[in-house]
Amino acid sequence: MRISVIGCGYLGAVHAACMAQLGHEVVGVDVDASKVALLAEGKAPFFEPGLPELLTEAMGSGRLEFGTDMSAVAGAQVHFICVGTPQKRGENAADLRFVDAALEALLPYVAPGDVVVGKSTVPVGTAEKLAERLAEVQPEATLVWNPEFLREGFAVQDTLHPDRLVYGIQAGTEGARAVRLLDEVYATPLSEGTPQVVTDYATAQLVKVAANSFLATKISFINAMAELCEATGADVTQLADAIGHDARIGRRFLNAGLGFGGGCLPKDIRAFMARAGELGVDQALSFLREVDSINMRRRVRMVDLAREVCDGSIVGRKVAVLGAAFKPNSDDVRDSPALSVAAQMGLQGARVVVTDPEAIANAEAKWPDLTYAPTAEQAAAGADVVVLATEWDQYRDLDPVAFGEVVAARRIVDGRNVLDPGKWRAAGWTYRALGRP
């Protein structure tokens, strides 16, 4: 099938490459010429495991092309809208400028019978408005809301083998033709038994934000327990293991530490609260405000811990921060807890050096005032305290004995609860962590 993908960021670039991998002919369009130039050479504009290989393969097959000219989408039967919906400046609500602009740019090329598929994360009610606009210009085309659940770092796997496929179709219509076309697009994952939920627009849009809110709540729940553990001398990792054995609770997404960041969970829960307010049901989501504050408190606590291990002051102390990306296997620094902690310590007078295997360039662009080093050893040379902020394998696997040779003082704060305290203490380190004795 001929498919178009509008917006080639984390979501769109991966979606386009995966659709080509599934055998479709795909054209990806983005307004950012430098991003398109990279993609057109088969290069990924961001770090995502497996994506460069997939792009090379798909470009080689001749089934994938990228461009900035929207007219290239003409002739595609299915058009995926994959643009970003960032948080509005100074407000909790989502900024829908890019979604609106993508649809407007696409409209002249939508033919009768085409299906426009929304994948961006939007406030409930957006699909209904977009469908209205589509009907004004091309009444014989259909809009389906098909939210995306991919995780950065596992984006290729999540797109090719999703946990579920949700299709939101306009209430009062059967949408049979649109469903059939989308089933054709996703024939391979469907044949693997991927569960499918066909529902209305409102439900489909809510599924996405509900899922991200649940995940954020799970993380903040365990981080709230970490606060209790800190007050009582208990160990939050053992607590998580123990409650996680209950299949109703489950151990995944119960890793206590610096909390969640990135381009999705923080802004999605805020946009969800803003939308609930508009709908007059803000009380229903007031718990998300608490989820957000628990999350932000972890960053403050991390800085406090670094101060505690440095005998009460970080002024003039050299702090090595391991990690800049919001999570491992990503170069994304949007709302990164690691960088927020690094910046706070810098503001409070510490000499901070940040390292990351993939995210230094992005971090430097966003936080030019911080100092960066290419490796953990270089960042930690002469450090008074080391702060592990993003749990890359390189940092989990550090040898406390050898690493102890480069620092000025063996003090480490484990912001992700991934190091073995016994091993580090045996090597002479003062080990502290969030939620562990």
Considering only residues 29, 150, 169, 354, which one is a binding residue for ligand UGA as defined by CB under 6 A? 150
CB of 238 to ligand UGA, least distance (A): 15
**Phi, psi for residue 392 in degrees, rounded to 5:** -60, 150
Q: Does 356 contact ligand UGA by CB under 6 A? A: no
Q: Does 212 contact ligand UGA by CB under 6 A? A: yes
CB of 348 to ligand UGA, least distance (A): 23
Instruction: Show the tokens assigned to 296.
Output: 């932000």
Per-residue contact flags (x/-) with ligand UGA for residues 316 to 345, judged by CB under 6 A:
----------xx------------------
Of residues 6, 169, 167, the one with CA closest to residue 82: 6
CB of 114 to ligand UGA, least distance (A): 25
Considering only residues 118, 257, 400, 415, which one is a binding residue for ligand UGA as defined by CB under 6 A? 257
Length, in residues, of the chain: 437
Q: Does 119 contact ligand UGA by CB under 6 A? A: no
Q: From its phi and psi, is residue 195 left (phi > 0), alpha (psi between -120 and 50) or beta? A: beta
Q: Does 205 contact ligand UGA by CB under 6 A? A: no
Report d(CA 3, CA 140) in Å as an integer: 18
Q: Does 217 contact ligand UGA by CB under 6 A? A: no
Q: Which among 8, 82, 264, 310 is annotated as catalytic? A: 264
Nearest CB to ligand UGA, comparing residues 82 and 385: 82
User: Which one of the spans 107-115, 248-256, 308-316, 398-406 is the region binding ligand UGA (CB under 6 A)?
Assistant: 248-256
Nearest CB to ligand UGA, comparing residues 2 and 151: 151
Q: Beginning with the edge strand found earlier in the chain, give each strand of the sheet holding 115-118 in spatial order.
A: 64-67, 25-29, 2-6, 78-81, 115-118, 142-145, 165-169, 196-200
Nearest CB to ligand UGA, comparing residues 261 and 435: 261
The secondary structure of 3-62 as a DSSP string is EEEE--SHHHHHHHHHHHHTT-EEEEE-S-HHHHHHHHTT--SS--TTHHHHHHHHHHHT
Q: Are 322 and 376 in contact (CB under 8 A)?
A: yes
Per-residue contact flags (x/-) with ligand UGA for residues 120 to 139, judged by CB under 6 A:
-x------------------
Q: Are 384 and 408 in contact (CB under 8 A)?
A: yes
Nearest CB to ligand UGA, comparing residues 61 and 238: 238
Instruction: Show the tokens assigned to 310.
Output: 């440095």
Query: What residue type is 419 in one-letter code?
Result: L
Whether 264 is catalytic is yes
Considering only residues 26, 219, 239, 433, which one is a binding residue for ligand UGA as defined by CB under 6 A? 219
Instruction: Show the tokens assigned to 134.
Output: 């589509």
Considering only residues 58, 215, 276, 379, which one is a binding residue for ligand UGA as defined by CB under 6 A? 215
Q: Does 20 contact ligand UGA by CB under 6 A? A: no
Query: How crowded is the C-beta side of 148, counted as CA atoms within 13 Å?
Result: 29
Q: Are 85 and 98 in contact (CB under 8 A)?
A: yes
| Cα angle 334-18-51, degrees, rounded to a multiple of 5 | 50
Query: How crowded is the C-beta side of 323, counted as CA atoms within 13 Å?
Result: 28
- Give me the helices (H) in 126-194, please: 126-137, 155-160, 176-185, 187-191
Considering only residues 149, 227, 244, 282, which one is a binding residue for ligand UGA as defined by CB under 6 A? 149
Q: Does 418 contact ligand UGA by CB under 6 A? A: no
Q: Are 55 and 21 in contact (CB under 8 A)?
A: no
Stated as kind and residue range, the H or E segment containing 366 is: helix 360-366
Report d(CA 254, CA 219) in Å as an integer: 6
CB of 353 to ligand UGA, least distance (A): 21
Nearest CB to ligand UGA, comparing residues 82 and 134: 82
User: Which one of the spans 52-60, 70-78, 127-135, 143-151 is the region binding ligand UGA (CB under 6 A)?
Assistant: 143-151
> How far, rounded to the nearest angstrom, does the alpha carbon of residue 95 sit from its chain's CA centroid?
17
Q: Does 395 contact ligand UGA by CB under 6 A? A: no
Q: Does 259 contact ligand UGA by CB under 6 A? A: yes
Query: What residue type is 62 in one-letter code?
Result: G
Nearest CB to ligand UGA, comparing residues 138 and 336: 336
Active-site residue numbers? 264
Binding footprint of ligand UGA on the chain (CB under 6 A): 121, 148-152, 212, 215, 219, 253-255, 257, 259-262, 264-265, 268, 326-327
